[in-house]
Structures are given as structure tokens and as C-alpha cells.
Amino acid sequence: MTSITDVSPAARRTAPLGLLAYVALAAVAVFFAATHSFDAYITNILMQAATYSVAVMGLTVVLGLCGQINLAQAAFFGLGAYAVGLGTVDYGLNFWVCIGLGLVTVLAAGAFLGASTIRLGGHYLAMVTISFQQIVTLVMINWIPVTHGPDGVSGISRPGLFTTAQAYLAFCVTVLAVVGYLVWRLPSSPLGRAMRAVRDNELAASVAGIDVQRTKVTAFAICALLGGLGGALFAGGFAYVSPDQFSFAESIVFLTMVLLGGVASPIGAVVGTGLLILIPEWLRFLKSVPGLYLAIYGLAVILIVLFMPDGIWGWISQFTRRFGSRSGVAPVRAEATALELRGSSGHAPEVLRVEGLAKHFGGLKAVDGVSFSVKRGSVHALIGPNGSGKTTTLNVLSGIYAPTAGSITLDGLDVTNLPPHRRTIAGLGRTFQNIRLFRTMTAVENVIIGAEHPGNPVQKAHHALDARARAALAFVGLGDRADELVTSFSYGHQRLIEIARALAGNPTLLLLDEPAAGLNSTEKLELTALLKRIAAKGLTILIIDHDMTLVSDVAEHITVLNFGRRIADGDPVSVLNHPDVVTAYLGSEPDAPY
Amino acid sequence: MDLVLQLLFTGIGIGSVYALVALGFVLIFRATNVVNFAQGEFSMVAAFLMVIFAVDLGWPYWLSALLSLGGMAVYGVIFNLGVYYPLRHRTYLPVIISTIGASILVTNTMLALYGPQPQVLAPVFETPGFNIGPVYLDSQYLLIIAVTIVLVAFQYWFFEHTLLGKKLQATSQDKEMASLLGIPVAAMIMITFVYSALIGGLAGILVAPILFVSIQMGGTIALKAFAATIIGGFGDVAGAIIGGLALGVIETFGAAYVSVPYKDGFAFLVLVLFLVFRPQGLFGERVAEKA
């Protein structure tokens, strides 16, 4: 789902104002809920809307922010509800203790499910969450001695302070307001940015230093936690829980709520939840035919995905954004500071040492025992004809492939078995041949993510990261367009943003994968100049490219691969005149004299 | 020992159904790179069509089966055009969600039309079964096993020895290259959906006399078939068949020796064990995203 989270940079600058408005609005809502006396029917609807909204916001986090699916939200909701129901009724525990126990349970279940499946990709997660949902329902129905079976648990009491429906409703609205605020602010926090990066491009996220697996599991656990919290509140609100309230069908209802309202914002969650609680109340006659009501939900899901992928709130905010930008205030721009590059303080003369590196795909030896080393402060080029194993070598170096044999030492540290994000933290930066940016973000947000990894010796306060990202963009020549969406940049400029993203992370070694690919001749000249400016700052560069003009222009040292093996290594002049290299590139006539 | 043989026979019989549905899963996955979460409903819809033709209208069994399969072909076309095709250029997530929506829509439409009461479909043969030594061979199970063997053999021949089969394989391996070679990719995907709906439907028709025809049968079968594809290795055709058979056997033994109410839980257990310890399945290779 390629939804744009609605926290634009402009929105962030006006954050204090937004916060004030939010607090005022929330206070009014809580006050209204606490003082206005509704009839019991309305109170019930509001109570359901408030508790459901908390659970639906969990889906905002996991689906909207992180791009992962959860089809068991009703199960987590049910676990929270049963913790409160069984705890207070059967075991006489305090209400708050039960909420705590429920949250611990859902958090553990969510983390376990996430950790066991998430690395395998979305399809598995979808099916595993469906299975989990069915298991929970099976247990609720069949484990009668503990769960009371299909009869459910009745007579659940509310905590001391909030025994009246009115007071309890005010309490639920307060919790909703707090959760809503946290979910609203999450996208612009480091964790939220990591989630969005993972959603937009997992591979780029890992290479930018984000622990993709942990980020996804965290998102999933937060989703489960909010599900459990909503369920616990629900149990107190309605005093009765039974298995059919937490079935797979309810998980689909939750999913429809978040999709209808819009996955990108907690406001969408509230809008979707409210509508899907009210509409069925208005159309009560639909419930007289079993199935009809859910069939319409199913149809609604398809239609929303087809025609309104950003949901109602996404559609509204798109509209207001377009309207707003016409009268828009020009963003205030701070003068960009100069980019400082301080890689590691290591002393080894070699920044990178590769020994006996091999990568076999079945019988294909893409890389077959390659050794070379990159001297500190040098620009080193790795070249070779198509299919010689260059890009495979780069992918093994950055941790995307595990090597079949050999070792990789980065600045004195053996990184052979580290995952990509750990190598980035250890001082590796890289770009991709086919550009991998976070497509729903601005240029500066992309670069901030590159600066944010824990191995970067800069301040992690937001303004410091922001300043560093702007400095990196200014360094590559895009400083005045920092707040534009990356998709509005030309191909060549997107490549520069990738380089800025890598530079912002203060790498010890910069890996460039065919940076000149797809550039026109002017852009290639600009690139050459940029590489020379980077090299002048003392950063070590390993570049892979086909473009001989570029390579011989910037490289001090060249390693040549062919058929996965090293055929030459040395300074540009001697290497490019090496007979094996000439043969590899131009072919040879059997009787041609060398 | 007799009980073991008996359970083995039953397990392979029910496992054949999982294998057929898993096969449909894998074919669509290979052609479109998305998992169809409404795969189980192919079986459910076909079983309900059988109830309409053979029970409600009282038409002969073979005619009802033919008409049901014809209906499934049409269903496959509609499914592709309504649920997958408009989303083909989006990421997998909207497509998954759309197939889930389709599953909910179809299941509950059937519920609205037929109510929650399971429908009964008589077995194909008058003779319910016979004994070979101590083992009782149920004729419906025998039929399922026989049809599965024939279908797998046909599919092997079709994909390996016909031009259309080769074109389908080319499409599933590299859509762009296939279209450059003049293969009509959209048509190939359409054929895949129709074929997948047909084998899913056939599985549904075969299993209906054993399981009852209910709105839940689709979801149950889909979960088992998915677990089967994980066991066999995702995207692997032979793996799906062996995974399906293995799951049928595991489940039958689990129900006999461990617990009946949690019978459907074994698939989940096996699924999670494989995901944790051998996510690439028995035959699959781990696929990594290319940089």
C-alpha cells in the first residue's frame, strides 16, 4: 500500500500549534463524555467506538506505517477482554492488574508470532495470523473449564473510580486520546521513520542501518498491544464477553475499519471505526439475513482497495493539502552547514580486506575466490565485463548475500557474518544500481534515515539529524529542494539523494554500485566532480562501473573481475593495458600478437 | 498395525484434497507472485454448485460435476477480472487484502443464500467401500486418490510437453521477457486462474461427501493447503503435493492419538514449526530479493 503518511515536513513545523489544538479537542471530548448524559443506547455505541478505535489504531501502526498485515486483531482484542473478564470474575483480581496481565499476554503473543514469521514476508504473516485467530477462537470455545466455553464470561465489573457508564466512557475516551496522540506522533519519531522506511523499501532500509526484522516485530507487537488494550477496555464497558465477539469475522471488521478510514492516520482509524459502527446500526435490517452484512463488508474491502486506497481520511487530507498548498507559506530554510565526514578513527592502512571471497548459486560460481584490499583514503574501482561477478561481490560485501566462502574485514572488524544493518553501523555505506529510495518521503527524510543509525557519531536529536541531512543534500547540490518528495526528482538527482543518504551516515567506506548507469553525459560530469569532492574529504570509495572514462578519471586503483575471478589488480594505466583485461573486454584473435 | 494402515489410507485420501488445493495456490503464486486467500472458496463454491445441481435439481452426478466445473471456469474468469487484474501493478499487500475481501464476500453470500446448516452430498459410488485384509478402503477416498494421481500426471504432461504449458511456465518465470517474446501474458494469467479454479473446484466436489458442504469448508481447506505449501517449499509444485499428503497423514494420526477437537490445530502447529526451523520447506530454496 503506497499511502503517504500525512505528517509532512510543514505539518511538523507547526507541531506545537497542532499539539495545542489536539489537546484542546481531546479535553473537550473527554469533558463532553464525562458530563453530558446520553441515553444508554448512545453510551453503548460511543463505548464501542472508543474501545474499537484503540484496536484499529494498532492496525494503523502495523499496516499503515510498517506495511505489514495482521488478520488476528480480534484475537488480540479478545485476549485482552478475556484477561479482564476471567481475571476479575473468576479470580477476583483487581481490574488494573488484569489489564496489565492482558497486555503482557498480547505483547508476548504478538512478539512471538511476529518474530517467528515476519522475516519470511507478508504472505506468511497473513496466513499465520489467520491461523492464530482460529486457534484462539478454538481455545475460547473448547477450553470450557477455564474460558466458560461458548457461554462466555458475564458480570464483569468496572474499576472503583469509574463504576458508572458515564465515568467509564470518559476514561475510555481519555485512553483513546492518549493513544491517538502517540500514534499521530509516531511517524516522525525515529521508530516511526524506520517503520516507514521498511514499508517503502526493505532492502534500502537495511542498508541504511535499520534492523528491519526488529522494526517489523516492534510494529506488530505495538499493534497487538493496542488490540489487547482496546479489548480490556471493551470488557469493562460491556460487562460480558463471549467467543463470537472475537472471531475471524471481527478481525475482518477491524481491517475494513482501518481501510475505510485510511491507514495513514489515527484520524482515519477513528473515522472508519465510527462509520462502521454507526452504519450497521442504521441498516439494522441487514442483520436479519445471516451473512449478508459480512458479504457487504467483503465487497467493501475490494472496492476500497480498488478505488480508494487511501481511505476516506486519506482522500480528505489529499484534498485539503492541495487546497492548502495554493495559499501555502514558503517553508523557512536554515542556511545549510558544511558537511563534515568523519569516518572511523581506525589506523589499519586497509579499510577493506576481502580474502578468498566466493558466492555460488547452485552450480554457478558467480564469485569464485576473489581477494583484494582497499587502501584508506583511496578511490578503488572494481570493474569487469557483464556477468563477471561485480554486483554479486558488492551484494556479498554489503551483506545482502551470505558468502559461500572467504572473509570480509572492514576497518579491522570481521563483518563476514553480519547482517546488512550491522555492517552499516560498522561503517559501510552503499548506493544501488537500480535506485532504492523511500518513495513516500521527502529528500531530507530519506537522508535523515541514513544519518540515524547508531554507528554514526553525530547527535541524535532531531534538529541535529535534520541539519546533517540538509548539509549532505547541499553537498551533492540539492540543498534547496530538500523538502520535495523524492518521486519529484529526476533519475540522476535521485541517485544523488542516494549518495547523500549514504554520506549522512558517516561511512568509513562508501560502496557505489554503477553510479553512472542511466545518467546522461552532463550528469556523468557532475557525478565525476562529486566523487572527486568526496574523495578530497578523505573518504574511501569502492566504485563499480562500466564507464571507463569515469573509472579511469577518479580511480587510483583498479581490480578487474572476469567469470568470478580476479584477473588484474593495480594502478589504472597498468591494469587497463593488461593483456588479460584487454582480452576480457574486447575479445582476442587467436594469433593476435600482444 | 491395522489401525496405522487404516489411518495412513485415510490420511493420504484427505491429504490428496489438500494437495490439489495447494497445487492451485502454487500455480497462481508462480504466475502472479501473490497468494490467493480466496483459494479455499474455489472448493466451497464448486461444492455448493454440486448441491444445487445434484441435490436441489436432482440431475445426474456426472452432469452436475461437469456443470459445476464449467461454473468454476466462469468463476475463475470473474475472479481474475474483479479481484486480481485491476491491481496487477500494485504491491502484493493490496492484492492480498482484495483476495481476503473476495473470500469474505463469497463465503457470506453463500451463508445468506443457504444458511449455516451444512448440506449433504451423496458419495459417487453406491458401494461405500470394501476390505483388503484388515484395512477398510472407502470408495470415495479411493476415488480422490485416483483422481489426484491422474491430475498430477496430466499436469506434468501439460506443463512439460505442450506449447501452452511452456508458455505458462515462461510467464510465471519472467513476465516481461515472456511478453517480449510475444506471449500474451494477460491471457496466460487468465488461464492460470481458470485452471486453478478448476482443480480447486474438483477438490471441493471430491471432498464434499466426506466433509459436508458448509461455508466453513473453504477457509479450513485453504489453511491446510497453505500449510502444505510451506511444508513442501513455497512455490514448488512437487513440494505442494508431498506437503499436502504429509499434512493429511499428520492430521489424521494427530486426531486419532492426540485430540479430536483440536484436529484443525495440527496444521497450524506444523506450519509454525516449519516456519521457525525450516522456512524454505522440504524442497524449496530460500529466495532473496535481488539488489
CATH number of domain containing B16:
1.10.3470
**Parallel/antiparallel/unpaired status of strands A350-361 and A240-241:** unpaired
The burial class, CB within 10 Å (0-12 / 13-18 / 19+), for B228 is buried
At A175, is the pLDDT very low, low, confident or very high (cuts 50, 70, 90)? Answer: very high
Last residue of a domain, one of A246, A269, A284: A246
Give the whole-angstrom CA distance, residue A127 versus residue A108: 19
Residues 6+ apart with CB under 8 A from A88: A94, A95, A98, A156, A157
Going across the sheet that includes A413-414, the strands are A364-375, A350-361, A405-410, A413-414
* pLDDT at res. A334: 53
* pLDDT at res. B184: 87
Q: Which residue of B has its CA nearest to A115?
A: B276
* pLDDT at res. A72: 92
Among B92, B93, B88, CA closest to B185 = B88
Of B93, B108, B272, the CB nearest to A122: B93
Of B90, B92, B102, the CB nearest to A298: B102
List all residues of chain A from 305 to 334 with a beta carbon under 8 Å from chain B. 305-306, 309
Least confident of A371-380, A470-479, B233-242: B233-242
Question: What percentage of residues in chain A have a pLDDT greater than 90?
Answer: 25
**Rounded to whole angstroms, what are the CA distances from B80 to A307, B39, B191?**
17, 12, 10
Least confident of A183-197, A340-354, A378-392, B199-213: A340-354
Q: Inform me whether the pLDDT recorded for A333 exceeds 60.
A: no
Q: CB of B176 within 8 Å of any CB in chain A?
A: no
Is B291 domain-assigned? no
Is B290 domain-assigned? no
Query: What average pLDDT does range A86-92 have in this prediction?
Result: 89
Question: What percentage of residues in chain B have a pLDDT greater than 90?
Answer: 25
What is the full DSSP assignment across B153-218?
A: HHHHHHHHHSHHHHHHHHHHH-HHHHHHTT--HHHHHHHHHHHHHHHHHHHHHHHHHHH-B-TTHH
DSSP-assigned letter for residue A153: E
* pLDDT at res. A262: 87
Compute the radius of gyration of chain A from its Cα atoms: 28
Is B284 domain-assigned? no
Residues 6+ apart with CB under 8 A from A184: A7, A22, A265, A266, A267
Would you call A128 and B275 a contact, using CB atoms and an 8 Å cutoff? yes
Residue-number span of the structural domain to which B179 is assigned:
2-277
Is A210 domain-assigned? yes
**Residue A253 has which C-alpha cell?**
471488521
Q: CB of A295 within 8 Å of any CB in chain B?
A: yes
Q: CB of B103 within 8 Å of any CB in chain A?
A: yes
Give the whole-angstrom CA distance, residue A215 versus residue A481: 29
List all residues of chain A from 453 to 512 with a beta carbon under 8 Å from chain B. none
Residues 6+ apart with CB under 8 A from B50: B64, B65, B68, B121, B204, B205, B208, B213
Number of domains in chain B: 1
* pLDDT at res. A6: 40
Query: What average pLDDT does range A392-398 have in this prediction?
Result: 89
Give the whole-angstrom CA distance, residue A481 versus residue A119: 35
At A323, is the pLDDT very low, low, confident or very high (cuts 50, 70, 90)? Answer: low
* pLDDT at res. A8: 44
**Parallel/antiparallel/unpaired status of strands B135-138 and A557-562:** unpaired
* pLDDT at res. A15: 58
Would you call B108 and A126 a contact, using CB atoms and an 8 Å cutoff? no
Least confident of A72-81, A581-590, B140-149, B185-194: A581-590
Would you call B105 and A298 a contact, using CB atoms and an 8 Å cutoff? yes
Would you call A131 and B268 a contact, using CB atoms and an 8 Å cutoff? yes
Mean pLDDT of chain A: 85
Helices and strands (H and E) in chain A: how many: 24, 12
* pLDDT tens per residue across span A531-559: 999 988 888 999 998 778 888 888 889 99
At A30, is the pLDDT very low, low, confident or very high (cuts 50, 70, 90)? Answer: confident
Which one-letter amino acid corresponds to residue A266? P
Give the whole-angstrom CA distance, residue B278 versus residue B167: 32
Is A173 domain-assigned? yes
Of B94, B226, B261, the CB nearest to A127: B226
β-sheet bridge partners, residue B130? B137
Last residue of a domain, one of A246, A269, A291: A246
Residues 6+ apart with CB under 8 A from A183: A57, A60, A61, A266, A269
Mean pLDDT of chain B: 85
**Residue A226 has which C-alpha cell?**
493496542
Q: Inform me whether the pLDDT recorded for A91 exceeds 60.
A: yes
Q: Are A81 and A194 in contact (CB under 8 A)?
A: no
Is B289 domain-assigned? no
Is A227 domain-assigned? yes
Is B288 domain-assigned? no
Q: What is the pLDDT along chain B (291 residues), one digit of tens a residue?
A: 778 888 888 899 889 989 988 888 888 887 887 888 898 999 999 999 999 999 889 899 899 999 999 999 999 999 999 998 888 888 777 888 889 889 989 998 998 888 888 888 888 777 777 877 778 888 888 899 999 999 988 888 888 888 888 888 888 888 888 888 888 888 888 999 999 999 999 999 998 888 888 888 888 888 888 888 888 877 778 888 999 999 999 888 888 888 777 777 787 778 878 877 777 777 765 443 333
Return left, alpha or beta for A560; rule: phi > 0 is left, psi -120 to 50 is alpha, else beta: beta
Query: What average pLDDT does range A562-581 have in this prediction?
Result: 83
Length of chain A in residues, anyone?
A: 594
Residue-number span of the structural domain to which A240 is assigned:
21-246
Q: Which residue of B has its CA nearest to A292?
A: B112
Sign of CA dihedral A323, A329, A330, A333: negative
Q: Min CA distance, B1 vs chain A (Å)? A: 31
Q: Inform me whether the pLDDT recorded for A313 exceeds 50.
A: yes
Q: Min CA distance, A391 vs chain B (Å)? A: 8
Among A12, A30, A312, A75, CA closest to A178 = A30
**Rounded to whole angstroms, what are the CA distances from A428 to A94, A114, A330, A397, A415?**
52, 28, 36, 9, 10
Compute the radius of gyration of chain B from its Cα atoms: 19
Find cell 572511523 and name the residue.
A344
* pLDDT tens per residue across span A248-294: 888 988 988 898 888 888 888 898 898 888 877 777 777 777 778 78
At A60, is the pLDDT very low, low, confident or very high (cuts 50, 70, 90)? Answer: very high
Would you call A138 and B276 a contact, using CB atoms and an 8 Å cutoff? no
Q: What is the CATH number of the domain that holds A495?
A: 3.40.50.300
Residue B135 CB neighbour total at 10 angstroms: 16
Residues 6+ apart with CB under 8 A from A67: A1, A122, A198, A199, A200, B93
Q: What's the pTM?
A: 0.82
At A336, is the pLDDT very low, low, confident or very high (cuts 50, 70, 90)? Answer: low
Helix (H, G, I), strand (E, B) or coil at A365: strand
Q: C-alpha angle with apex A332: A329 to A335, nearest 5 degrees?
A: 155
Least confident of A340-349, A502-511, A516-525, A585-594: A585-594
Would you call A297 and B104 a contact, using CB atoms and an 8 Å cutoff? yes
Would you call B111 and A116 a contact, using CB atoms and an 8 Å cutoff? no
List all residues of chain B from 187 to 206 with a beta carbon under 8 Å from chain A. none
Q: At what angle do helices A73-89 and A122-142 cross, to 10 degrees?
A: 30
Is B287 domain-assigned? no
Last residue of a domain, one of A214, A246, A278: A246
* pLDDT at res. B289: 37
* pLDDT at res. A335: 55
Chain A neighbors of B275, CB-CB under 8 A: 116-117, 120, 124, 128
Sign of CA dihedral A242, A247, A251, A253: negative
Q: Inform me whether the pLDDT recorded for A588 exceeds 70.
A: no
Q: Are A30 and A177 in contact (CB under 8 A)?
A: yes
Chain A neighbors of B227, CB-CB under 8 A: 131
**Residue A468 has which C-alpha cell?**
546533517
Is B63 domain-assigned? yes
Would you call A131 and B223 a contact, using CB atoms and an 8 Å cutoff? yes
* pLDDT at res. A158: 86
Q: Are B264 and B247 in contact (CB under 8 A)?
A: no
Number of domains in chain A: 2
* pLDDT at res. A241: 92
* pLDDT at res. A480: 87
Give the whole-angstrom CA distance, residue A95 versus residue A104: 14
Is A354 domain-assigned? yes
Of A126, A142, A306, the CB nearest to B37: A126
Is B202 domain-assigned? yes
Is A60 domain-assigned? yes
